[in-house]
Amino acid sequence: VRFRKMMGTVPIDLPPFERFYADHRDVVLGHLLRKLGRNGAEDAFQETFLRALHAYPYRRAHPTGELPELVAEDGRAAYLELDHLASTLPPTERAAVVLRYGYDLAYDDIAVALGSSAEAARQAASSGVRRLRKGTVR
Amino acid sequence: MTVSADLDRRFRDAAATAGLLDIGFDVIDSPIGPLLVAASDRGLARISFSATFDPEETIESLARAFGPRILRSSRTIDPARRQLDEYFDGRREGFELDVDLRGVPEFTRRVLNELARVPYGRTTTYAQLAVSAGAPRAARAVGAVMNRNRIPIVLPCHRVVGTNGSLTGYAGGLDVKERLLRLEGALL
């Protein structure tokens, strides 16, 4: 219960459970052995970590931090959809957004296409996305 | 106090059986070296070659993509392990495994869907794959998708070669690509 409370209130980014488990299993088992003896300790060990896993945070809503998936309702490819959506952006931002999120190119490749640096390509894509999110185009 | 292998395995099995994991993974042996194989409740999520995977790094990246409830668990990937073993033994030509493409952009998904149709023992080119994905001018983008394929072997990017027949590149190394194609009888 204390563990669950801690999970609920402290906004820390926990490591993958594998690491949490690997870091704590020996200490927890030692503690349980001292407290319960060999008979009870192994069952309690499994119970303890299953509870911890149960209380552990799970997948976030937009796991990759990328744009939500674009669904082409009329069956057209999503990159065409995106091209249309981005058509009101300034040319560089539009190209960067379409190449990044429509064609899934890496920023290095986009940089080549735009004749800029990878960092500039990344900035163009993210400012394009910000603009689209805000709806400040048109 | 060190946790015994038996107690450790019992906990890992129990966690997988209880359906509490975002991702279960394990490292399996194969003729092309150890492979890190990861799966969610929706299907196969990752296959990493030893040459490129740093387990910590792979686990972190899986946590970012699928959530932090990640545990090494041989049980989760049992079906994949069995089918991969059969594939490497030459006893299996197609995989009957679901894949988890959550978070994968739509274009990438289309290309991977087309890739999955390239039959065992055949090769295609980046340009042809671009055509069948409905984006004839996007051969380079198709190359980028192959390059970042998270589920190689099962999604057979090793069957995609350059228009001149050159092997071009592979995350597991060109020797591995050649070996897979030879196993499938696509190269003499």
Question: A29 CB near a chain B CB, below 8 Å?
Answer: yes
Which chain A residue shows the shortest CA-CA distance from B110?
A77
- Amino acid code (one letter) for B67: G
Q: Which of A7, A17, A98 would you mutate first to test chain B, the one with the most B CBs within 10 A?
A: A17
Instruction: Choose the catalytic residue: B153, B157, B160, B180.
Output: B157
ipTM of the complex: 0.86
Distance CA B78, CA B95 (A): 13
Given an 8 Å threshold on Cβ–Cβ distance, is A103 in contact with B60? no
Is this structure's pTM higher than 0.80?
no
Beta strand B124-125 with B70-72 is: unpaired
Question: A64 CB near a chain B CB, below 8 Å?
Answer: yes
Residues from chain A contacting residue B107 (CB–CB below 8 Å) = 77-79, 102-104
Helices (H), A10-138: 17-55, 78-85, 91-97, 107-114, 118-134
Active site residue B89: no
Q: What is the pLDDT along chain A (138 residues), one digit of tens a residue?
A: 444 444 444 434 678 999 999 999 999 999 999 999 888 899 999 999 999 998 888 765 444 444 434 333 333 444 555 666 667 777 778 878 877 776 667 787 777 767 788 888 888 888 888 887 776 554
End-to-end, the C-alpha distance of chain A in Å comes to 53
Distance from the Cα of A114 to chain B's closest Cα (Å) equals: 15
